Structure 1
Amino acid sequence: MALAVASSASIAGSISSRSNPSHQQSKAPQFVSFQPLDRSHLSSTAGSSSPRRCSVRPLNAEPKRNDSIVPLAATMVAPVTEVVGKVEVEDYEQLAKDLENASPLEIMDKALEKFGNDIAIAFSGAEDVALIEYAHLTGRPFRVFSLDTGRLNPETYKYFDTVEKHYGIHIEYMFPDAVEVQALVRNKGLFSFYEDGHQECCRVRKVRPLRRALKGLRAWITGQRKDQSPGTRSEIPVVQEDPSFEGMDGGIGSLVKWNPVANVEGRDIWNFLRAMNVPVNSLHLQGYVSIGCEPCTRPVLPGQHEREGRWWWEDAKAKECGLHKGNIKDENVGQLNSNGNGAIHTNGTATETDIFNSQSVVTLTRAGMENLLKLENRREPWLVVLYAPWCRFCQAMEGSYVELAEKLAGTGIKVGKFRADGKQKAFAQSELQLGSFPTILFFPQHSSRPIKYPSEKRDVDSLTAFVNALR
């Protein structure tokens, strides 16, 4: 889908009203809610050269816990001068179909028009700044909130300040409950997620603060894209009733989730940011693509998918922190055909096409892998990749692995693949050192114990060096 890029000069008006200078002398902060913008007069303000800042009522929050030791800034509720009426019931599945081929700018405009001050953009400090730029280009008022987990990179905090100044806005920050964080750290330490998974920490630092934020809204806007995460985001619509969280009215269907860039590819997002001269997080220049908390985020290497820099020690299908947990579907994978090749079926329907297809790559069955484990005196060594065809990380290394297999043909080293998801996953985890996909094993000629490839550099030269060191 092509991006619709609009010049900021062609968009009349400012996104917010100027703060009253007299308020600067007030001893107490003053908050006002957005007033509907009279778009017929936008052209009269187009020539203003100074940034225009806005102050909006903060996101509503759940009542503060009795045992909380610090007040939550988000619990402050400002006087409301105008209340946006409840949005009429709408068929959002049909609306998603109607907007399937719409530009992100058009989708953003529709969302802001429909929900007014009861919708906000979720901003993480990464490339989802594109959402703020699109909102700015609509000329409508908009709100932005972010989750400060307390463990973000210093560069991200600096970037938040840059974005506020660039657009003349105030980001509404949500913080985790201090008592819950204290209990987690005291009981399990600062880095428990490396041992038992990231879900508990994310639940305390991200999911619960998000839940409080969304309780004050009727809709929110996210930067999810279909190409971002294997197994979790490939089917997200541009608009949907949120499957996981509730809005201010409570109950199922009380919150609407907009994903304006769902159909946009990452490279097109970056082309848009460059074209519009949008400031970006300096971490991107250091190899970071998807950016989260500092302990759980790292740069990606050539040949790696962008989400492989997040929670790299876990399974690719678990790479959601809980903010979009509705994306994760129960795994219900059927068995492979007799030789372990071809498509798989879920409820009788073909869902994935197999990968690493080459005459130089041998497809191994469960029995074949068990035999490899038993042999202590093999006639030739084996290099085997444990993979899942839905895994974007496996897909990213397909070309280099096939090239390596063709390069090793005739050298006495066999190259194979073993599909290790579904019913084979437990076996692969217990017997084959599977931690996450892909896992690469080398079976030496005179040893039954396979050696796990320790690096995440999966280019041909790196894999060749690994094989040559052990052959």
Structure 2
Amino acid sequence: MASAISISGNALSSRSLPLKEFRAAQIGPVVQVSAGRRSRRWAVRAVEPTRMAPAAATAEPPVAEADYEKLAAELERASPLEIMDRALDMFGDGIAIAFRVGAEDVALIEYAKLTGRPFRVFSLDTGRLNPETYKFFDTVEKRYDIHIEYMFPEADEVQALVRSKGLFSFYEDGHQECCRVRKVRPLRKALRGLKAWITGQRKDQSPGTRAHIPIVQVDPSFEGVGGGPGSLIKWNPVANVDGKDVWNFLRTMDVPVNSLHSQGYVSIGCEPCTRPVLPGQHEREGRWWWEDAKAKECGLHKGNISQEAQKAGVNGNGTTSINSVNGTHDIFESQAIVNLSRPGIENLLKLENRKEAWLVVLYAPWCRFCQAMESSYIELAEKLSGSGIKVGKFQADGDRKPFAQQELQLGSFPTILFFPKHASRPIKYPSEKRDADSLLEFISFLQ
């Protein structure tokens, strides 16, 4: 490994910068790093120590929510180091790096260290990771002198899943349910304590779901502190970086990596669902290899799936689910949720003394706010199973919309209604907080 790298630009004349100084470099005037035949801006920006300005003098006020699209465009050609510095500067202790033990994730930690700013790291321990991954956690903590904030699935939920379906049900009915219990719900809890999070997503990782991810965005799937749409910001500093360039950066900086990479693993997840890829295979083909290689998301980044892909019937499980109303991809798919037809919800409206109370969401499959609450609503339905409260869904777009507006108080999607046992009219949920706990609290006041 070379002990120095060549840096050129206005700030520094062409010369070799010792690796020790390179590691300590902070963001400054634009410089370029030579990477093979072409020059890339992504790898690093540097200034000499004597030219560094105090952090307080360069700090900028947080960008308003409405400006995130503008900010994404502004940072489209920025280096990951500049993007990382901007994210940490804007959100401070309210932002954390999601460490999923792959090459991109440890690169994020290295970039965070190079900014010189304090940073937080969290990771999801599903209970089914490879031994090499657990060893890598320890290596990273010691290398960067940090304590990773581990999140775990709820023991009773894992127990219920395994007892009812066994240890390997995902090979038969897809990985979505297991991932929801072991990954999505723990992540949802972690993100509720944050204002923003940082991921290692790259555009070239998954041809069907990540080709258009922005540098920064209002998270389309999860909620942060305060709850409601727009309460969480998602940063993707290496979105525009090729996989090989990530590896060039790691080798140059002598960054430790998961030992599974040397065994042919490129994208690393849980042990039963991950295997090495063969030469010529795409890196995501090693994940959930029994499913469609073009649409592989566990639910952590479900918002990547475009409306066009959803209308084509592709979901985060790599399978299809077609709605009978208009032929589009459906959502809120769970055995715990009753799919109400037009006559079904009309009958529910007519009943004045119901045997059971009902909670019903009026939704449109294409609505991003409906998509964002899908996991929470399924979680709620499973918690209420056997409680005497039925959970249902009614697709209220298209030719059903006028009926829903006139008879079901539909204002915008999603609209959530509670039908008590002894009341003729449903009660509309008034809040934009659509997590399972908030909905449970709403129900408890009305029983």
TM-score > 0.5, shorter chain as reference: yes
**2:275 matched residue in structure 1:** 298
Give the counterpart letter for 2:196 in structure 1: A
Q: How far 1:315 moved relative to its partner?
A: 1.2
Does structure 2 retain, via aligned residues, the 8 Å contact 1:147–1:173? yes
Q: How far 1:303 moved relative to its partner?
A: 1.1
Choose from 73, 84, 102 the match for 1:108.
84
Matches within 5 A, 1:191-210: 191-210=168-187
Cα 1:142/1:7, change in 2 over 3 Å: farther
Choose from 324, 329, 343 the match for 2:301.
324
Q: Are 1:221 and 2:233 matched, yes or no?
A: no
Q: How far 1:89 moved relative to its partner?
A: 3.6
Q: Are 1:153 and 2:130 matched, yes or no?
A: yes
Cα 1:198/1:277, change in 2 over 3 Å: same
**1:236 matched residue in structure 2:** 213
Q: Map Cα deviations across residues 350-404 of structure 1 (whole Å, 9 max, x no partner).
A: xxxxxxxxxxxxxxxxxxxxxxxxxxxxxxxxxxxxxxxxxxxxxxxxxxxxxxx
**2:115 matched residue in structure 1:** 138
In structure 2, distance between residues paired with 1:176 and 1:114? 30
Give the counterpart letter for 1:98 in structure 2: E
In structure 1, distance between residues paired with 2:180 and 2:20? 38
Matches within 5 A, 1:416-455: none
- 2:269 partner SS: coil
Choose from 67, 70, 93 the match for 1:91.
67
Q: How far 1:284 moved relative to its partner?
A: 0.3
Cα 1:250/1:6, change in 2 over 3 Å: farther
- 2:167 partner SS: coil
Choose from 123, 142, 149 the match for 2:99.
123
In structure 2, distance between residues paired with 1:98 and 1:41? 23
Does structure 2 retain, via aligned residues, the 8 Å contact 1:238–1:262? yes
- 2:234 partner SS: strand
Matches within 5 A, 1:243-322: 243-322=220-299
In structure 2, distance between residues paired with 1:233 and 1:12? 32
Q: Map Cα deviations across residues 106-150 of structure 1 (whole Å, 9 max, x no partner).
A: 000000000000000000111121000000000000000000000
Cα 1:149/1:136, change in 2 over 3 Å: same
Q: How far 1:86 moved relative to its partner?
A: 8.3
Does structure 1 retain, via aligned residues, the 8 Å contact 2:65–2:230? no
Give the counterpart letter for 2:242 in structure 1: E
Choose from 21, 26, 44 the match for 1:9.
21
Q: How far 1:318 moved relative to its partner?
A: 3.2
In structure 2, distance between residues paired with 1:126 and 1:92? 27
Q: Map Cα deviations across residues 126-184 of structure 1 (whole Å, 9 max, x no partner).
A: 11210000000000000000000000000000000000000110000000000000000
**1:165 matched residue in structure 2:** 142
Q: How far 1:230 moved relative to its partner?
A: 1.5
- 1:261 partner SS: coil
Does structure 2 retain, via aligned residues, the 8 Å contact 1:11–1:139? no
Does structure 1 retain, via aligned residues, the 8 Å contact 2:62–2:90? no
Q: How far 1:333 moved relative to its partner?
A: 5.4
Q: How far 1:205 moved relative to its partner?
A: 0.2
Matches within 5 A, 1:357-372: none
In structure 2, distance between residues paired with 1:319 and 1:305? 12
Give the counterpart letter for 1:308 in structure 2: E
In structure 1, distance between residues paired with 2:19 and 2:192? 35
Give the counterpart letter for 1:9 in structure 2: E
Q: Map Cα deviations across residues 219-254 of structure 1 (whole Å, 9 max, x no partner).
A: 000000000002100000000000000001211010
In structure 1, distance between residues paired with 2:306 and 2:157? 28
Identity level (%): 77
Does structure 1 retain, via aligned residues, the 8 Å contact 2:206–2:295? no
Unmatched 5+ stretches in structure 1: 15-38, 43-84, 335-471
Give the counterpart letter for 1:93 in structure 2: E
Give the counterpart letter for 2:132 in structure 1: E
In structure 2, distance between residues paired with 1:145 and 1:241? 20
**1:340 matched residue in structure 2:** none
Does structure 2 retain, via aligned residues, the 8 Å contact 1:8–1:137? no
Does structure 2 retain, via aligned residues, the 8 Å contact 1:155–1:281? yes
- 1:173 partner SS: strand
Does structure 2 retain, via aligned residues, the 8 Å contact 1:6–1:137? no
Unmatched 5+ stretches in structure 2: 1-6, 9-16, 27-51, 56-60, 314-447
Give the counterpart letter for 2:276 in structure 1: P
**Count of residues in Structure 1 that have an aligned counterpart in Structure 2:** 266
- 1:240 partner SS: strand
Matches within 5 A, 1:318-357: 318-330=295-307, 331=309, 332=311
Matches within 5 A, 1:56-95: 88-95=64-71
Cα 1:243/1:317, change in 2 over 3 Å: same
Does structure 1 retain, via aligned residues, the 8 Å contact 2:214–2:236? yes
Does structure 1 retain, via aligned residues, the 8 Å contact 2:171–2:290? yes
In structure 1, distance between residues paired with 2:131 and 2:163? 24
